[in-house]
């Protein structure tokens, strides 16, 4: 009787079995729920890890702009000349992690990186707030600056010019990336730190995902 009671404590929470054959619809549902619950200012924030060809890693927070179940991919945008941009150009693989502590959930995605085309980049850039578009024009991300005052002065100059030109165009050094997943891990918090970890893997040639439940 005691054993059954303890088992029920550990069973509570987690992803219900049978696990889905494809993790992307569930990942999309988790992100949708995180956005709708109102617990996070940026529910689509994710840590993006990149590395040089020599294996030197770096990580930072970016915003996921789309989850694409049909492509088994997600997208984000950045400066192509930033540190992450140069690392992705030299070593086009990345890993991202979402963390939604309010729901006791994490999601990790690994895969190959490709750049989005100009049409997709331009379409998204036009949806950005005006100040964000101006900031993109003046920020040569990861490069040293003379001072913050100089940076702000340049932003004001671009803003004034944009009023005359009736718009701020996307600079060629800025655009999007698509991470095509070959590994997805969904993690849920459970009692006694016996957290549930379900991992999906597949190769380029594979038509289906291989699933494993991992020890926490």
Give the pLDDT band (50/70/90) at residue 70.
very high
* Rounded Cα–Cα distance for residues 11 and 8 (Å): 5
Q: Is the pLDDT reported for residue 166 higher than 70?
A: no
Q: Look at residue 5 in the predicted model and tell me its pLDDT.
A: 52
61-78: average pLDDT: 96
Between 195 and 18, the more confident residue is: 195
* Rounded Cα–Cα distance for residues 108 and 29 (Å): 15
**Do residues 125 and 133 lie in contact, with contact meaning Cβ atoms separated by under 8 Å?**
yes
Q: Is the pLDDT reported for residue 55 higher than 90?
A: yes
The runs of H, that is alpha helices, within 128-180 are 130-138, 148-165
Q: Is the pLDDT reported for residue 1 higher than 70?
A: no
Query: In the predicted model, what is the mean pLDDT of the chain?
Result: 88
For 115, the 3-state DSSP assignment is strand
**Do residues 181 and 73 lie in contact, with contact meaning Cβ atoms separated by under 8 Å?**
yes
Q: Look at residue 75 in the predicted model and tell me its pLDDT.
A: 98
Q: Is the pLDDT reported for residue 2 higher than 60?
A: no
B/e letters for 175-196, b = 16+ CB within 10 Å, e = fewer, are: bbbbbebbebbbbbbbeeeebb
Q: Look at residue 124 in the predicted model and tell me its pLDDT.
A: 92
For 44, the 3-state DSSP assignment is coil
Residues 144-152: contacts with CB within 8 Å, 24+ apart?
none
**Predicted model pTM:** 0.83
pLDDT digits (tens, 9 = 90+) for 72-100: 999 999 999 999 999 999 999 999 999 99
Q: Look at residue 153 in the predicted model and tell me its pLDDT.
A: 81
Helix (H) or strand (E) holding 90: helix 83-90
Neighbours of 53 (CB within 10 A): 8
Least confident of 25-34, 100-109, 173-182, 195-204: 195-204
Q: Look at residue 32 in the predicted model and tell me its pLDDT.
A: 96
**Do residues 120 and 155 lie in contact, with contact meaning Cβ atoms separated by under 8 Å?**
no
11-19: average pLDDT: 66
pLDDT digits (tens, 9 = 90+) for 99-154: 999 999 999 999 999 999 999 999 999 998 888 888 887 777 777 878 888 787 88
154-180: average pLDDT: 81
**Do residues 30 and 15 lie in contact, with contact meaning Cβ atoms separated by under 8 Å?**
no
Between 159 and 119, the more confident residue is: 119
Domains annotated for the chain, with CATH where assigned, are 2-129+172-214 (2.30.110.10)
Least confident of 8-17, 36-45, 189-198: 8-17
Between 205 and 93, the more confident residue is: 93
């Amino acid at each position: 009787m005691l054993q059954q009671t303890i088992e029920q404590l550990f069973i509570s929470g987690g992803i219900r079995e049978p696990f889905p054959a494809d993790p992307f619809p569930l990942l999309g549902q988790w992100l949708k729920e995180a956005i709708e619950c109102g617990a996070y200012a940026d529910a689509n924030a994710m840590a993006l890890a990149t590395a040089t060809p020599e294996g030197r890693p770096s990580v930072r927070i970016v915003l996921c702009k789309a989850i694409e179940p049909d492509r088994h991919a997600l997208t984000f945008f950045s400066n192509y000349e930033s540190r992450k941009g140069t690392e992705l150009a030299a070593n086009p693989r990345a890993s991202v992690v979402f963390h939604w502590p309010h729901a006791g959930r994490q999601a990790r995605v690994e895969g190959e990186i490709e750049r989005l085309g100009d049409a997709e980049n331009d379409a998204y850039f036009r949806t950005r707030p005006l100040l964000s578009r101006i900031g993109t024009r003046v920020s040569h991300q990861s490069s040293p600056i003379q001072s913050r005052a100089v940076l702000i002065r340049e932003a004001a100059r671009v803003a004034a010019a944009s009023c005359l030109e009736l718009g701020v165009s996307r600079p060629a050094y800025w655009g999007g990336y698509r991470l095509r997943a070959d590994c997805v891990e969904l993690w849920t918090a459970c009692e006694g730190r016996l957290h549930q970890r379900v991992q999906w893997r597949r190769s380029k040639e594979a038509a289906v995902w291989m699933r494993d439940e991992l020890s926490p």
